[in-house]
Amino acid sequence: MKILALVGSPRKKGNTDILIDTILCACRRHKTEKIYVYDHKISPCMDCRACQKGNHSCRKNDGMKEIYPRIQKADLIIFGTPLYWYAPTGQMKLLIDRLRPFIASKKLKGKKAVIVVPAAEGPKACKAIVEMFEQSFDYLGMKLAGKILATAYEKGEVAKNAKELKKAHDLGVSL
Ligand SMILES: Cc1cc2nc3c(=O)[nH]c(=O)nc-3n(C[C@H](O)[C@H](O)[C@H](O)COP(=O)(O)O)c2cc1C
């Protein structure tokens, strides 16, 4: 199985990154790849609807050109984002909006998804973001294979939290 992890935090070695690394470490038997979403220039979906026609590709010439084929090749995609105002980070939202070609192409259908969301307030603050991901995966025909909602605030804090790390490790093993 090919696993693609999308790190939607601007902080490398931050909580999202650490939780994702813990998951990936626990499922080394698979082919894994990690993308820092903030390293790529992703412009907003302009609702031009070109992706609804022809070969269902996006006309934009930006960082997504490199990310689209990697998403397509993956069997399981990990969406990692810290909670920002009860929602994903802006950069992760830009990426999610750009998944529109996959509505018409149906190329994400049957793929698995995992969500990883650290938040200062913890899981109780994650109702809306979980709902957003679940509904979006449903729309795209993807299956939610697991979620990690962790309590963490300072950069790298989650690395000292054995309970949260174990949850991420166990999820990785289960994949
Ligand atoms: C702009 C911004 C908005 C945030 N909004 C929330 C929030 O609504 N609820 C919450 O619990 N934490 C919020 N946080 C805290 C982060 O979710 C938390 O620090 C997280 O662990 C950061 O993960 P990272 O290290 O992967 O970047 C916010 C942080 C920032 C910078």
Distance (Å, rounded) from C-alpha 50 to C-alpha 67?
Answer: 18
Tokens encoding 51? 């992706």
Q: What digits encode the pLDDT tens for the residues 105-161?
A: 999 999 999 999 999 999 999 999 999 999 999 999 999 999 999 999 999 999 999
To test the pocket of ligand 1, the residue of 83, 93, 157 to mutate (highest count of ligand atoms within 8 Å of its CB) is: 83
pLDDT band at 9, cuts 50/70/90?
very high
Residues in contact with ligand 1 by the CB-under-6-Å rule are 9, 11, 14-16, 82-86, 118-121, 125, 152-153, 155
Give residue 130's domain range: 2-174
Kindly state the average pLDDT of the residues 2-24: 98
pLDDT number for residue 130? 98
161: number of Cβ within 10 Å: 17
Whole-prediction pTM: 0.98
Do 32 and 20 touch, CB atoms closer than 8 A?
A: no
Q: Tell me which residue of 134, 73, 81 sits closest to 108, measured CA to CA.
A: 73
What is the distance in A from the centroid of ligand 1 to the CA of 12? Answer: 14
pLDDT number for residue 73? 98
* Sequence-ordered alpha helix ranges (H) in the chain: 15-26, 64-73, 90-97, 101-105, 127-140, 162-174
Q: At what angle do helices 15-26 and 162-174 cross, to 10 degrees?
A: 40
pLDDT number for residue 129? 99
pLDDT number for residue 109? 98
Distance (Å, rounded) from C-alpha 128 to C-alpha 111?
Answer: 22
Average model confidence (pLDDT) across the chain: 98
What is the distance in A from the centroid of ligand 1 to the CA of 64? Answer: 25
Query: What is the helix (H) or strand (E) element at residue 39, kind and residue range?
Result: none
pLDDT band at 55, cuts 50/70/90?
very high
pLDDT number for residue 15? 98
pLDDT number for residue 147? 98
CATH number at residue 66: 3.40.50.360
Number of domains observed in the structure of the chain? 1
